[in-house]
Amino acid sequence: MIKCEKLSLGYDGKAIVDNLNFEIQNGDYLCVLGENGVGKSTLIKTLLKLIKPISGEVVYNENLLPTEIGYLSQQQQLLKDFPASVFEIVLSGCQSKVGIRPFYKREEKQTAKEKIEKLGLLDLMTRSFSELSGGQQQRVLLARALMAGQRLMILDEPVTGLDPEASRKMYEIINELNKSNMTIVMISHDIEVALDYATKVLYIGQNIFYGTTLEYKKSRGIA
């Protein structure tokens, strides 16, 4: 699906991380781990083609279309007070495919309702986004991201600011998406969660690691 070879990432020609080599295959659940400032979010921006690597190459499978990639960023304060309904927020996710326009097709509205139902938000569909809890808002934004991408979902710290119960529910939803054959790439600070759900781990730090979750456990002496 995506292959990264000898990647050097950073800004203004100054590298944050060097010599990243890894591959994202169809059906993977890849957790990207590491301390703050090591280049995790920079890697995500590179995968999304928002920035270019300093050197190295990102090769995309020719069958993977930009419209098949969804992205959920860290929760932002700016979005919390957005004056729109849950349905309107989710429906707007298809704009990445069709562009901004004053109306939506019946099929798009039906798909939005399906995503809302899939994430357990049907009873909140007409509620204002600003009235929801942090966990509910993040699930709405995930539903919106699902409108944008069906094959690959990229998540940057999706449970930031959420309480333990909301975090647990969010992780369970993401795991179910992976089981339904959606490929997941997720940045997380929570190593325990990564080892519970991920099939592969990319650890970025002084010593870079890429491999299966079992290989990561063995390399760290985790039972």
Q: Is residue 88 part of a domain?
A: no
pLDDT band, residue 36 (cuts 50/70/90): confident
pLDDT digits (tens, 9 = 90+) for 177-208: 999 999 999 999 888 888 899 999 999 998 89
Number of domains into which the chain is organized: 1
Q: Is residue 116 part of a domain?
A: no
pLDDT digits (tens, 9 = 90+) for 60-83: 987 888 788 999 987 665 566 778
pLDDT digits (tens, 9 = 90+) for 97-117: 555 666 778 888 999 999 999
pLDDT digits (tens, 9 = 90+) for 126-185: 999 999 998 899 999 999 999 988 899 999 999 888 888 988 999 999 999 999 999 999
Per-residue burial over 88-98, b = 16 or more CB atoms within 10 Å of its CB, e = otherwise: bbbbbbbebee
For residue 223, give its domain range.
1-64+152-163+182-223
Residue 37: the pLDDT is 86
- Number of helices (H) and strands (E) in the chain: give both, helices first: 9, 9
Q: Is residue 25 part of a domain?
A: yes
Q: Is residue 139 part of a domain?
A: no
Residue 184: the pLDDT is 97
Helix H or strand E encompassing 18: strand 14-24
Q: Is residue 37 part of a domain?
A: yes
Q: Is residue 90 part of a domain?
A: no
Residue 124: the pLDDT is 95
Give the strand pairing for 209-212 and 200-203: antiparallel
Three-class SS of residue 39?
coil
pLDDT band, residue 210 (cuts 50/70/90): very high
Q: Is residue 45 part of a domain?
A: yes
Give the CATH number, domain containing residue 31. 3.40.50.300
Task: Choose among 44, 41, 2: nearest CA to 25.
Answer: 2
Nearest-Å Rg of the Cα atoms of the chain is 18
Mean pLDDT on 36-53: 92
Mean pLDDT on 216-223: 86
In angstroms, the CA 130 to CA 164 distance is 21
Q: Is residue 6 part of a domain?
A: yes
Three-class SS of residue 165?
helix
0.85 cut: is pTM over it? yes
Helix H or strand E encompassing 85: none
